[in-house]
Structure 1
Amino acid sequence: MSRLISDKYNEWEELCRQRFDKLKANEEQLNRYYIDLYNMGSEITPEVDDSDVTVRLADLQREIRSLISYAVGCVFGRYSLDHEGLCFAGGKWDSSLYSTIIPCSDNIMTLNSPDSGLTKAVTDFVEKVYGSDTLAENLRFIADALGGSSEPATVIHNYLRKDFFADHFKVYKKRPIYWQFTSGRKSGFTAIMYFHRYTPELLSMLENDHAVPYSEELKAQLRSAAAAHKSSTGAEKSAYRRDISRLQSQITEMEGFIARLHLLAEENIILDPDDGIKVNYEKLKEILV
């Protein structure tokens, strides 16, 4: 059995085409029947435009983005590779449903590096499902489908960081279940949580276990860049100057984000699913995309 996503997509594309062609042919046959029945041959034709057929053809970019969304769902425990259908959308958590991929324990996945956090979890998902021997080829296929030419992990990371939430927001009709935290426009820090696993303690964990350590990491990078800047010359010195400016902006942004996050964490905010996504989203909007 093939372990290549490209082969799986080709199979799905052919299945969708067969289904599409069959439905289109059936609709045109019905049209002919009614045209003959009501003697309307001189007024209309039986042909059906492709855009009017009620099932969709396969679309590579859409299918790959859906695959990534499913992978994210497995990372947070909404889905499981070990059980079909929805595994958790509130209620009692059942850890026995997960063995192939264990959901993240604190319901927080950062997006600060292609080598860690949610990006690493998604690439691990691809390896678990399709195997390590085809991992490089599968990640390249995913990256190409997303329209990127850089290293696959970087392309996937950029999609998750910049476009995933927008796609998710649209698919879920402005009622997202994956919420993206952001420190602001300088993109100093970003992370995702699953709404149905939220607890009032999550914001404190986000602050102490993720945001503050990341801020300290940025400060260490700034010290290193400043030291290198002193001993460099020419173009290299200019590059370090740009790094210093970027890091200073991100650190300032992080300080504001941590301050807002800390105030919200002290409130022990409760999110009630019965109130709906929009009402709950408003409670944390200061730190969300």
Structure 2
Amino acid sequence: MSVLISDKYREWEQLCEERFRKLKENEEKLNSFYIGLYDIGDEITPEIDDSDVTVRRADLQRDIKSLISYAVGCIFGRYSLDREGLCYAGGKWDVSAYSTVIPCKNNIMPLNSPDDGLTAAVEDFISTVYGSDTLEENLAFIAGVLGGSGTPKEALHSYLRRSFFKDHFKVYHSRPVYWQFSSGPKGAFKALMYLHRYDSSLIGCLNDSYARPRYEELTEEHRRMSDAYRKASGAEKAAYRRNISRLNTLLLEMEGFIARLREMAEQDIALDLDDGVRLNYEKLKDILE
């Protein structure tokens, strides 16, 4: 049955509020008991501030971002819709743990287009969990919470590409489990991987199956722009010229990124999770965000 995320959020908000109020009431009753027991009513009161209650209320933006983070976890296999709790954080991979959402095959999810890669996978997750009939409405609701311009899919893509890793980095206290590859400051290429599924063949796969096709895609776009520029006149030429200049910059960044990937792939770099995130991050820092 199709479900609206907005309705599920209102249910969650009500549940959180009831839990919050009940805990606050209980804590104030305990305060009253001890105030009476020790006869200190002249010194303190039983009332407590909302900020001192030890369970949190619902927060629309935080909770929608948490939903997206959970979707990403299912896409990489960290979580499964078919099992409770953490499903995979190293060890033996159990393919039987996943049937509703199948994790990505090679542990790489590109972030270069709203029509494929991680954005499309999150969209598929929303459709699978909440129903295809309500997909557009649910995407619009998510986009409204995240903000941004363009279509709901473009707003989701913008968040995943620009902000998801930053939020994840903060939540995991600078020790992220999803790592973001980046070609450089211009962002010609970005992709995510799940740390616990990394193996030394991943860098070569990233280069051959993702970075090089992205370079070819940008090269083809550059060719089309150049052809259009030669046929244009007046103000159109200026617009094409700006786009060609932008593409030149992206292609130059991609060339450097591919060279670094090729060199690192030859090194057959292994990670040891026992060394901690920071030491392992150093090994791949030249290709990471």
Q: What's the TM-score bracket when you normalise by the shorter of the two chains? A: over 0.9
> What is residue 43 of structure 1 aligned with on the other side?
43
- 2:253 and 2:188 map into 1 onto residues whose CA distance is 7
Residue 111 of structure 1: how far off its partner (Å): 0.4
> What is residue 255 of structure 2 aligned with on the other side?
255
Higher mean alpha-carbon deviation, 160-169 vs 233-242, is at: 233-242
Gaps of 5+ in 1: none
> What is residue 28 of structure 2 aligned with on the other side?
28
> What is residue 235 of structure 2 aligned with on the other side?
235
> What is residue 181 of structure 2 aligned with on the other side?
181
Residue 85 of structure 1: how far off its partner (Å): 1.8
Check if 1:159 corresponds to 2:159.
Answer: yes
Q: Are residues 105 and 2 of structure 1, via their aligned partners in 2, closer, same or farther at CA, if it must alter by over 3 Å?
A: closer
Check if 1:14 corresponds to 2:14.
Answer: yes
> What is residue 170 of structure 1 aligned with on the other side?
170
- 2:33 and 2:148 map into 1 onto residues whose CA distance is 49
> What is residue 202 of structure 2 aligned with on the other side?
202
> What is residue 226 of structure 2 aligned with on the other side?
226
- 2:41 and 2:233 map into 1 onto residues whose CA distance is 82
Residue 196 of structure 1: how far off its partner (Å): 0.7
Say which SS state the counterpart of residue 42 (structure 2) adopts: coil
Higher mean alpha-carbon deviation, 157-166 vs 33-42, is at: 33-42
Residue 2 of structure 1: how far off its partner (Å): 6.1
Higher mean alpha-carbon deviation, 85-94 vs 130-139, is at: 85-94
Residue 134 of structure 1: how far off its partner (Å): 0.2
Residue 88 of structure 1: how far off its partner (Å): 1.2
- 1:236 and 1:94 map into 2 onto residues whose CA distance is 56
Check if 1:214 corresponds to 2:220.
Answer: no
Say which SS state the counterpart of residue 85 (structure 1) adopts: strand
Gaps of 5+ in 2: none
- 2:155 and 2:238 map into 1 onto residues whose CA distance is 27
Say which SS state the counterpart of residue 91 (structure 2) adopts: coil
Q: How does 1:35-74 map to 2 (within 5 A)?
A: 35-74=35-74
TM-score, normalisation: structure 1: 0.97
Q: Which runs of 4+ in 1 moved over 4 A?
A: none
Kept after mapping to 2: 8 A contact 1:181/1:288: yes
Kept after mapping to 1: 8 A contact 2:2/2:134: no
Say which SS state the counterpart of residue 84 (structure 1) adopts: strand
> What is residue 114 of structure 2 aligned with on the other side?
114
Higher mean alpha-carbon deviation, 117-126 vs 167-176, is at: 167-176
TM-score, normalisation: structure 2: 0.97
Amino acid corresponding to residue 24 of structure 2 in structure 1? K
Residue 202 of structure 1: how far off its partner (Å): 0.4
Say which SS state the counterpart of residue 113 (structure 1) adopts: coil
- 2:29 and 2:103 map into 1 onto residues whose CA distance is 49
> What is residue 127 of structure 2 aligned with on the other side?
127
CA offsets, 1:143-194, max 9 Å, x none?
1111234211111111111111111111111111100000011110000001
Residue 96 of structure 1: how far off its partner (Å): 1.2
- 1:148 and 1:222 map into 2 onto residues whose CA distance is 27
Check if 1:273 corresponds to 2:281.
Answer: no
Residue 283 of structure 1: how far off its partner (Å): 0.3
Higher mean alpha-carbon deviation, 188-197 vs 143-152, is at: 143-152
Kept after mapping to 2: 8 A contact 1:17/1:57: yes
Kept after mapping to 2: 8 A contact 1:139/1:153: yes
Amino acid corresponding to residue 42 of structure 1 in structure 2? D
RMSD: 1.2
- 1:287 and 1:149 map into 2 onto residues whose CA distance is 29
- 2:240 and 2:21 map into 1 onto residues whose CA distance is 58
Kept after mapping to 1: 8 A contact 2:180/2:288: yes
Kept after mapping to 1: 8 A contact 2:101/2:125: yes
Amino acid corresponding to residue 105 of structure 1 in structure 2? K
- 1:99 and 1:254 map into 2 onto residues whose CA distance is 36
Kept after mapping to 2: 8 A contact 1:112/1:189: yes
Residue 279 of structure 1: how far off its partner (Å): 1.0
- 1:234 and 1:63 map into 2 onto residues whose CA distance is 50
Kept after mapping to 2: 8 A contact 1:2/1:8: no
Kept after mapping to 1: 8 A contact 2:76/2:104: yes
Question: How many pairs does the alignment contain?
Answer: 289
Amino acid corresponding to residue 176 of structure 2 in structure 1? P
Kept after mapping to 1: 8 A contact 2:148/2:158: no
Say which SS state the counterpart of residue 55 (structure 2) adopts: coil
